[in-house]
Structure 1
Amino acid sequence: CHYIPYPENKFFQGREDVLDVMKERLIDSRTVGDGILAFALWGPPGQGKTQTALRFAHEYRHDFPYIFWVTADREEKLLQGFQDCAVAAGQRSAASDVRAAAEAFKTFLTSLADRWLLIFDNAVSPHLIIDWWPIMSKTGAILITARKQEFETTNVANGGLELQKLPIDAGIDMILEQIPAHAGKRDADARVEAQKIVERVSGLPLGIQAAIGLINQSGFTLKQYNRNYTDGRTFLKDTSKDHSHRNFAPYPRGLYETLTDTIQYIDDNSRMLLEIFSLLDPDHIQDHILEAAAKNKTLQGLDYIKRSDRCLKVLANGLIARNSDEGGQRLHSYHMHRLLQECVKINAKDQSFQETFEQAVLVVYTALGTSGFEAALKTAPQRFKEYLPHVQVLHDFYQTRSSDDPSSAPAATLHFIRLIRKSASLCYKRGQFTIGLTLLTTAQDILGIDPSQSQLPGKWSAKVLEAMRLHHQHACIYSEIGDFELSLSHWQAAKKHYEELTAAGQTGPTDADIESYLGGIGNSLNGLGRNKEAIANYLEAFKHAPVNDITSPYEVNICRTRWADGQLEEAASRLCELIELRKEAKGEDDTDSFVMGHMLYVLGNVRISQNQLNEAYSIHKRALKNWRVTYGDEHHKTGDAWHKKGWHEARLRNFDVANRADLLKALHVYQSGSDRQFRDGEVARTSFKLAEVLEELGDHSEAAKYRKQADELRRSRTGKAYTPNPSESDYEELVSLWAR
């Protein structure tokens, strides 16, 4: 299995000495019993590190039965890359929880008996790389490309080298092979002219490639290009020495000027599209982003959107490149060098770049689209993978400019707020709560405490409506992680904005909104143990919903609250009624919605309280079956159902089943999911139960290990309230009512 997202570069030149060193380190030096072999290729941007790693992967692919490639400039992209590798290797599906799939892929690498190569491209944090290092493997090799030398130290790869500028002869060959008039010919004069270009850009392959694109696009001869490029400018005579542009300090001036020339030579429409691309994730700029923009009323009239096919052809001359798979099959996306993105931003004027920022936001917002919750849950994995990287780049650009140089910061817009909110919703559905809260905090900071006083352009009603929806999304995340005090405050704030808007006669808010806010308040009150208040809010919510709404989670939640309040008959009766209604509508094996799983799970808990244990066992197994389909195997709710099944098996004294089939699966879900930092209570509870089961199986050492883990987590969560010799009920108190 070779998962290499780029085809072999047929115009690659030079680097034979570097490739030999990499081969010696990663292939030739392996002996029996070696651990992972690693090598870091580091140096300034534009030197060709990625292309050299790509050349190595393709040239020595027969030495590695398994090759995998991931981009490592962000943790989210590294995890997504690991999931893509897991899918390619047949270990997980694309719908899997990202972190759980990444953990599975790491385990898969460790288990391989054959040689494998893992490439971390564009790494920025040694700690991030080390966290995902399959340290127990005896057959693996890791290749890292990075800017920093620290990646070659003993703390990381323990070996590597700095990639120097491309040798002049290799740079000359790179130019002549890609210009049709000179390809395959021996022309001494052409080599002299090509050498001038190589020297001017300090031998950086990115600068050479940009010059090639400009030459082919303009139709210049090499001599004409050099004359045109140097006229009216003062160039440094000694190009072997690094110099810097005052606004582009990290990079050689020749490269900056070459890229700037290339940008300025393209037409206005192509430049505008390039500026849009400079604000997106550089690795995967999808075709369908532009296709969606062409259908948007605001964007479709813009020339660079109407002529995007032509603009893309212009940009493909050395500025962007279409992504391809390892077999050379063209994919529906482009990539752009990060260095070029920075150059584009520096060349753009602040005033015009405000327009670029607004349109980039609208392009991504339009592509992200809208859908109902159930549909969104099913499409969330793909949409999260495709669009969150773009949103993070836009978010970081806004934040960096706002803090470093407020005078050049783009002004936020309502569309930017909406894009952040919709992206946070995707994070919520994928269990990426920390990222979601970061995005929401930025949006809420922009709107301020009182959105009606915000300086953000737009109508009062639009700003208040957006504040309402931001509080809604905040509340959803805080409810999911069990912070019910915060979720309650956000639900109440959302309800307040709803009342402001309806009192003013605005049509934006809907019955579905107020149902959500009243139901959400009920959920938070339930989580805080204020059950009678919760029931009252649920009943108010039902006034804004259809009768017998079998899709409503609040119909289930009021039953959970009644169970917690000791109203067992009322809870059981309503749940049985709802389950029967769903059975009539969806069939016996209803896996159409996770709501059915919640109905079954809560009913099973009610039956336990009614001492109808065998029926509870059967019902909980049905809940597990539903959630494995609707939520997936890595979701924490599925983990809850595995724990509950393990509890039943232990009760029935099926200790081996409880240990191997159920409790360990629950523990794996809690510890490997994207939301694992919020699952300490669940881990403690399941570890305690597992320790009891292992004691029954006579495995006292393993039992002691899990009991210690449970006790340490319980101590950290309870603080001064900690008491020794806990019971099972003490551990149940560590999790929210919804996880019991």
Structure 2
Amino acid sequence: MEQESLVQDSLPISSPFGATAGSTAGSFEIVPAIAALEITRRDPKLPCYSFGTKRKMEYFCGRQDVLQKMDECLLPSPNKLESEGGEQLQSFAICGLGGMGKTELAVEFAYTRKEYFEAIFWLGADNVQVLASNFANIAQQLGLEDGPQDLVASRDIVNGWLSKPMRKVVEPDIPENQVHWLIIFDNVDNLDVLYDYWPTTGRGSVLITSRDPLAKHNHLLENGQDLSPLTSTESETLMQHLTHVKADPPQREALAAILERLDGLPIVIDQMSSTFRDLRLSYIDFLRLYNEEGIVRLQTMQNFSATSDKVGSLVTLWSLKRLSIRTKELLWVISLLDPDEIPEETFFYKKGHIALSNYPKTLRDYLQARAELLSSSLIKHDAEQQKISLHRLTQETARAIMDEKQLFQAFQTAIQLVIEAWPFQSMREHHWIARFPKCETIFPSILRLKSRAEEFIRDGRDYALNIGLAKLLNDTGWYMYERGVPEELKTFAELSLKIGEQLQARGGDEEVLRTVRESHSYVGIACAESHESTLHMFHIQKWLDVLLERESTPGVPVLDYELGYAYNEIGVAYGFQNKVEEAAQAFLRSIEIFQGLSDYEETMLGWPTPNLGFMYWLQGKLEDAEHVFTEILDIHVAAWGVDDTTSFKTGKILYGMGNVLHDMGRFDESFNFHRRCLQQYKKTLGLRHERTGDICHRLAGHYIRQGAYKEAE
């Protein structure tokens, strides 16, 4: 609060009351602390069905009693709307052990009841960051947004529509204009992650799957069901269908004995049926192998304690031990990545050496290994989206059979593969949005590597001490910053810094030093967003100090792009502390360094020059500020045109120019610049980004001045 009052005291009389500072990772600007205005929503594109990689099973057996209960709870009907007041959110939880068939039951419901809903969305919910990204995508799928935007803003748009799902925005809110929708949150192991994504007023149906039996008693949910194992009749029907062998009277006794051991777990029946088909067995032969140790590890299944967990684990273990070494090493890597959907391009490595010596390195080897995994039902392949998915129980078992050396090599290989696939962005390209779609597909797997690295560090194992992983974490954190989730930048960069500092203590090379510098810069930028001004200054100053220690020749510091960028950021840090003069000097030094580079391009000034303009504005040097903003705007227009969609920095320049002209009393010119700024922000940031809200507030003031109260509203 003390800092905020200092900032306000320094503002010109005509500055917006309650102004605050904000970092760009590269920018300092004064913005009004006013919530974003509501934006009129578009009509949704209907019908809209998004099932991700989930496909309906060719054959679904059993669970008719549960499906009937789900129908009663989730399907819309006029009678239900009248009796419950027409606004009730309907919900249902499917609970049970991993491998019990929760997800398959939800898929069956969604596909077979599709006619009752005009919009269905399938969302993996075992990780809040992935859920945030996938939930935000609903806005694009419905046509409420044109492209990837700020995640929080997109979430609010989606929740707004779900709470009041109108087919036509301009038409009355009557039943004929209301849309019935269904959302499925799959694998909700922690219901806390759903609070920000739970519709507030109803109008639709929510189905969740969870291992936690308490999920159905949560206050968010109305109804639920614990899944029991399949009955003996259902198990028999399912296995005969999957094996393509009907049990005649002599075979029935053997089949019954097999199913008794399989305990009615659908995933186990599916895997065992695959083995049955591969070996061209009869039920009597299969039972003999089962009982007489005819297959490696098969005999261990006789020692289980009748718990479903043990059975499922052992059957999967048996399947894994049959794999070729090449296929096994591929599965080890898959077990460390996201189970729901891994882009297949992730598995192709083109740089030669890889930690796992037998990992499939050619397309032919990969396809053969994939075929072996598919034949054992260990993975699923979405040919249309070119993605791999698998059951979490399979992942857990694959990890369990690795010894320490194998786990280390598999983790290093997974890091190498993801680094190869990830579209890194250089410091000069910060705030360019072209890479977002590809990042989005790989991001869930990086989250898995991050969690595994944190676990290794806690256990004191050196598996995570990989400078490539540290660089990947930095760049992934920056991607999340670009998507409007700055708090994630801090968690990624802090882990990267921890890895880098440990490597540095062991005598790290220049790559390690460079990565540590980058981590300090990112942690500092993230602290700016959370208003931790002391930590912000500490990390940015640390970054700058290390850069200044470099020498091109004795006594001559290295002058490069990174140093110019660092001076820009230290200027932002000074601005946060209300040290306006020091900030202006830092921005001038940044400009000087950029202009002295051998590969200097005028667009490099897009970082410090607008920030310098804002400092002049704060000091009341309006003519100097106008000159600075005009100069950098001309540079941007020359590089990217008047309608720049490359970076939001053009919008920031337009915003600053509008502020300056406003304080000069040139209100019509100011209005035009602010209006252009809003248009540019819409193209690069989206309608609901914080910066868009700031400029909407400014424009509202212009309309009020003009007496255009309807436009202001």
Q: Which residue of 2 aligns with 1:3?
A: 50
Q: Which residue of 1 aligns with 2:540?
A: 491
Q: Give, in whole Å, the separation in 2 of the partners of 1:191 and 1:436.
A: 60
Instruction: Provide closer, same or farther for how the CA distance between residues 160 and 542 of structure 1 changes in structure 2, counting only shifts above 3 A.
Output: same
Instruction: Provide closer, same or farther for how the CA distance between residues 294 and 192 of structure 1 changes in structure 2, counting only shifts above 3 A.
Output: farther
Map 1:288-687 to 2 at 5 A. Answer: 288-291=345-348, 293-294=349-350, 298=354, 303-306=359-362, 307-322=365-380, 324=382, 330-372=384-426, 374=429, 377-403=432-458, 405-406=459-460, 410-448=463-501, 452-453=504-505, 455=506, 459-502=508-551, 511-546=560-595, 549-551=602-604, 552-659=606-713
Q: Which residue of 2 aligns with 1:79?
A: 132
* 2:701 counterpart letter in structure 1: W
Deviation at 1:55, TM superposition (A): 0.9
User: What do residues 265-296 of structure 1 show as CA deviations (whole Å, max 9, x unaligned)?
Assistant: 000111111010111110011111123x2356
Q: Give, in whole Å, the separation in 1 of the partners of 2:195 and 2:503.
A: 43
Q: Give, in whole Å, the separation in 1 of the partners of 2:328 and 2:559.
A: 42
User: Are 2:137 and 2:148, in contact at CA under 8 Å, matched by a contact in 1?
Assistant: no
Q: Give, in whole Å, the separation in 1 of the partners of 2:509 and 2:410.
A: 25
Given the alignment, which residue of 310, 325, 335 partners 1:253? 310
Deviation at 1:221, TM superposition (A): 4.8
Deviation at 1:658, TM superposition (A): 1.8
Instruction: Provide closer, same or farther for how the CA distance between residues 94 and 618 of structure 1 changes in structure 2, counting only shifts above 3 A.
Output: closer
Q: Give, in whole Å, the separation in 2 of the partners of 1:437 and 1:277.
A: 27
Q: Give, in whole Å, the separation in 1 of the partners of 2:142 and 2:450.
A: 33
Q: Give, in whole Å, the separation in 2 of the partners of 1:189 and 1:497.
A: 80
Instruction: Provide closer, same or farther for how the CA distance between residues 154 and 310 of structure 1 changes in structure 2, counting only shifts above 3 A.
Output: closer
SS in 2 for 1:543: helix
Q: Give, in whole Å, the separation in 2 of the partners of 1:553 and 1:142.
A: 45
SS in 2 for 1:605: helix
Q: Give, in whole Å, the separation in 1 of the partners of 2:151 and 2:216.
A: 28
User: Are 1:525 and 1:533, in contact at CA under 8 Å, matched by a contact in 2?
Assistant: yes
Deviation at 1:332, TM superposition (A): 1.1
User: What do residues 345-372 of structure 1 show as CA deviations (whole Å, max 9, x unaligned)?
Assistant: 1111111110101111111111113234
Q: Which residue of 1 aligns with 2:326?
A: 269
User: What do residues 40-68 of structure 1 show as CA deviations (whole Å, max 9, x unaligned)?
Assistant: 11111110001011111122222223322
Does residue 337 of structure 2 align to residue 280 of structure 1? yes
SS in 2 for 1:257: helix
Instruction: Provide closer, same or farther for how the CA distance between residues 459 and 153 of structure 1 changes in structure 2, counting only shifts above 3 A.
Output: closer
Deviation at 1:543, TM superposition (A): 3.1
* 2:236 counterpart letter in structure 1: I
User: What do residues 508-560 of structure 1 show as CA deviations (whole Å, max 9, x unaligned)?
Assistant: 98711111111111121123221222222222222332467234221111121
Q: Give, in whole Å, the separation in 2 of the partners of 1:590 and 1:252.
A: 57
Deviation at 1:323, TM superposition (A): 5.1
Q: Root-mean-square deviation (CA), in Å?
A: 2.8
Q: Give, in whole Å, the separation in 2 of the partners of 1:556 and 1:483.
A: 23
Map 1:703-714 to 2 at 5 A. Answer: none
Deviation at 1:469, TM superposition (A): 1.2
Q: Give, in whole Å, the separation in 2 of the partners of 1:84 and 1:585.
A: 31
Given the alignment, which residue of 155, 173, 183 partners 1:118? 183
SS in 2 for 1:305: coil
Instruction: Provide closer, same or farther for how the CA distance between residues 554 and 223 of structure 1 changes in structure 2, counting only shifts above 3 A.
Output: farther
Q: Which residue of 1 aligns with 2:43?
A: none
Deviation at 1:644, TM superposition (A): 1.2
Q: Give, in whole Å, the separation in 1 of the partners of 2:586 and 2:303.
A: 76
User: What do residues 625-677 of structure 1 show as CA deviations (whole Å, max 9, x unaligned)?
Assistant: 22211222232222211111112222333333222xxxxxxxxxxxxxxxxxx
Deviation at 1:229, TM superposition (A): 4.1
User: Are 1:40 and 1:144, in contact at CA under 8 Å, matched by a contact in 2?
Assistant: yes
Q: Which residue of 2 aligns with 1:208?
A: 269
Q: Give, in whole Å, the separation in 1 of the partners of 2:460 and 2:233.
A: 45
SS in 1 for 2:207: strand
Give the gaps of 5 or more residues in structure 1.
Answer: 244-250, 660-740
SS in 2 for 1:410: helix
Instruction: Provide closer, same or farther for how the CA distance between residues 590 and 147 of structure 1 changes in structure 2, counting only shifts above 3 A.
Output: closer
Instruction: Provide closer, same or farther for how the CA distance between residues 262 and 548 of structure 1 changes in structure 2, counting only shifts above 3 A.
Output: closer
Q: Give, in whole Å, the separation in 2 of the partners of 1:501 and 1:296.
A: 33
* 1:123 counterpart letter in structure 2: V
Instruction: Provide closer, same or farther for how the CA distance between residues 274 and 548 of structure 1 changes in structure 2, counting only shifts above 3 A.
Output: closer
Instruction: Provide closer, same or farther for how the CA distance between residues 462 and 381 of structure 1 changes in structure 2, counting only shifts above 3 A.
Output: closer
* 1:208 counterpart letter in structure 2: I
Instruction: Provide closer, same or farther for how the CA distance between residues 394 and 452 of structure 1 changes in structure 2, counting only shifts above 3 A.
Output: closer
Q: Give, in whole Å, the separation in 1 of the partners of 2:624 and 2:535.
A: 30
SS in 2 for 1:145: strand
Q: Give, in whole Å, the separation in 1 of the partners of 2:303 and 2:503.
A: 57
Q: Give, in whole Å, the separation in 1 of the partners of 2:601 and 2:454.
A: 46
SS in 1 for 2:321: helix
User: Are 1:165 and 1:204, in contact at CA under 8 Å, matched by a contact in 2?
Assistant: yes
Given the alignment, which residue of 91, 105, 128 partners 2:144? 91
User: Are 1:304 and 1:311, in contact at CA under 8 Å, matched by a contact in 2?
Assistant: yes
* 2:269 counterpart letter in structure 1: I
Q: Number of paired residues?
A: 634
SS in 1 for 2:707: coil
Q: Give TM-score, length-normalised by structure 1.
A: 0.80
User: Are 2:700 and 2:712, in contact at CA under 8 Å, matched by a contact in 1?
Assistant: yes
Q: Give, in whole Å, the separation in 1 of the partners of 2:562 and 2:256.
A: 66
SS in 2 for 1:379: coil
Q: Which residue of 1 aligns with 2:70?
A: 22
Q: Which residue of 2 aligns with 1:692?
A: none
Identity of aligned residues (%): 22
- The runs of 4+ residues in structure 1 deviating greater than 6 Å are 236-239
* 1:427 counterpart letter in structure 2: M
SS in 2 for 1:178: helix
Q: Give, in whole Å, the separation in 2 of the partners of 1:474 and 1:333.
A: 33
Instruction: Provide closer, same or farther for how the CA distance between residues 618 and 127 of structure 1 changes in structure 2, counting only shifts above 3 A.
Output: same
Q: Which residue of 2 aligns with 1:143?
A: 207
* 1:390 counterpart letter in structure 2: S
Q: Give, in whole Å, the separation in 2 of the partners of 1:576 and 1:45.
A: 62
Q: Give TM-score, length-normalised by structure 2.
A: 0.82
* 2:188 counterpart letter in structure 1: A
RCO comparison, higher one (Cα < 8 Å, 6+):
2
Greater per-residue helix proportion:
1
Give the gaps of 5 or more residues in structure 2.
Answer: 1-47, 166-177
Deviation at 1:321, TM superposition (A): 3.8
* 1:253 counterpart letter in structure 2: K
User: Are 1:549 and 1:555, in contact at CA under 8 Å, matched by a contact in 2?
Assistant: no
Q: Which residue of 1 aligns with 2:32?
A: none
Instruction: Provide closer, same or farther for how the CA distance between residues 228 and 234 of structure 1 changes in structure 2, counting only shifts above 3 A.
Output: closer
SS in 1 for 2:94: strand
Q: Give, in whole Å, the separation in 2 of the partners of 1:350 and 1:299.
A: 14
Q: Give, in whole Å, the separation in 2 of the partners of 1:198 and 1:86.
A: 46
Instruction: Provide closer, same or farther for how the CA distance between residues 594 and 300 of structure 1 changes in structure 2, counting only shifts above 3 A.
Output: farther
User: Are 2:49 and 2:118, in contact at CA under 8 Å, matched by a contact in 1?
Assistant: yes
